[in-house]
Amino acid sequence: MMIKKMFLALMALGVLATSCSDDDNAPALSTLTLDLSGLEPLGDDFVYEGWIIVDGSPVSTGVFSSVSFPQTFTVDAQQLSTASRFVLSIEPTDDPDPAPADTKLLVGDFSGNEASVNSNIVGDFSSASGAFFLRTPTDETGTNNGNDHYGVWFGTPGMPPIPNFVLPTLPDGWVYEGWVVGDAGPITTGTFTAFNAADGFNDFSETLQAGPPVPGEDFFLNAPSGETFPLDVRGRTVVISVEPVPDNSPAPFAIKPLVGTAGQETAPSTHNFGQNLGSLPFGTVTR
């Protein structure tokens, strides 16, 4: 009986020693704090994910879906202390790829224990400008039908219209999208990356003629819920947003560099966009 008790005591000491050894080998942890502004919820299919760049390689700091800040994350202390940069990306909720997606949204280099992050990795919108005109080319059969206030196109009218955007070329993972704010909310005019070609969307346009070689849309067919077509664009807000790819949200993304109001005049008059740089996300990351 005494031998059995001694054996159990030795086993307990061994377990304790192993436990202490494991604790000694566990990496030290530090707190990373994100204080960000301008982010919007992504829906169920996507999350935000933070990354620190350590010796040139990305290390995840965790995912989140709430856009209330500040938020804190527990990170390996050694990696965090040597990190040179912070990156925020948009990732699928069920993500088999351990690397960051192309949809990198915020980036900033650490200076001491703090990094100021901004959306310049998406594009420099400081010189953003452009204009649009009201016309309905898709229902015309060689003559103007007198209903040009039911369509909006991005560029300068002509034969053919020409683009007039001053916007950066977007990196992989991002596209532009046009919008008109209807009675029930924003209505898409389609996504695009080229300013001198039609976009890939024409669900609302007529079918009598092809649209011009610039992005835009006529509003005659397939009105969304809460809207009545044809839609009179005059006096309505017109928006150019930057959208992640893929994108499961029917609403505009947070980045909306250009916003304008349609006037009463139709083509050949144009209506100018104004800069909306206050929509660009930014923030501070502290270690």
**Is the pLDDT at 70 greater than 70, yes or no?**
yes
Q: Which of 71, 84, 87 is nearest to 34 (CA)?
A: 71
Tokens of 50: 């933070």
Question: Cα separation of 268 and 279, whole Å?
Answer: 30
On whether the CB atoms of residues 285 and 34 are closer than 8 A, the answer is yes
**8-state DSSP, 55:** T
pLDDT at 138: 94
pLDDT tens-digit readout, 206-256? 988 888 999 999 999 999 999 999 999 999 999 999 999 999 888 999 999
Indicate the pairing of strand 271-272 with strand 114-118: unpaired
Please work out, in degrees rounded to the nearest 5, the angle formed at the alpha carbon of residue 195 by the alpha carbons of 275 and 168: 50
% pLDDT > 90, the chain: 84
Q: Which of 256, 135, 239, 253 is nearest to 187 (CA)?
A: 239
CB atoms within 10 A of CB 10: 10
pLDDT at 5: 43
Question: Cα separation of 106 and 70, whole Å?
Answer: 16
Region of residue 45 (left: phi > 0; alpha: psi -120 to 50; beta: else):
alpha
% pLDDT > 70, the chain: 90
Cis amide prior to 250 (ω within 30 degrees):
no
pLDDT at 12: 45
Mean pLDDT on 79-106: 96
Range among 27-31, 85-89, 250-254 with highest mean pLDDT value: 85-89
Question: Cα separation of 268 and 258, whole Å?
Answer: 21
pLDDT at 141: 61
pLDDT tens-digit readout, 146-160? 899 999 999 999 999
pLDDT at 210: 85
**Is the pLDDT at 58 greater than 90, yes or no?**
yes
On whether the CB atoms of residues 45 and 92 are closer than 8 A, the answer is yes
The overall average pLDDT reported for the chain is 91
Question: Cα separation of 115 and 283, whole Å?
Answer: 8
Least confident of 13-27, 35-49, 88-102: 13-27
Q: Which of 113, 41, 104 is nearest to 75 (CA)?
A: 113
pLDDT at 24: 62
DSSP string, 120-178: TTT---TT-B-EEEE--GGG-SSS--S-GGGEEEESB-SSS-B---B-PPPPTTEEEEE
At residue 240, the 3 state secondary structure works out as strand
**Is the pLDDT at 21 greater than 50, yes or no?**
no
Q: On the CB side of 84, how many CA atoms lie within 13 Å of its CA?
A: 6
**Is the pLDDT at 183 greater than 70, yes or no?**
yes
**The overall pTM is greater than 0.75:** yes
**Is the pLDDT at 11 greater than 50, yes or no?**
no
Cis amide prior to 27 (ω within 30 degrees):
no
**Is the pLDDT at 173 greater than 70, yes or no?**
yes
Mean pLDDT on 44-72: 97
Q: For residue 140, name the pLDDT band (cuts at 50, 70, 90).
A: confident
pLDDT tens-digit readout, 192-212? 999 999 998 999 999 888 889
Q: Which of 10, 229, 174, 225 is nearest to 217 (CA)?
A: 229
On whether the CB atoms of residues 145 and 123 are closer than 8 A, the answer is no
Q: For residue 52, name the pLDDT band (cuts at 50, 70, 90).
A: very high
**Is the pLDDT at 187 greater than 80, yes or no?**
yes
pLDDT at 143: 62
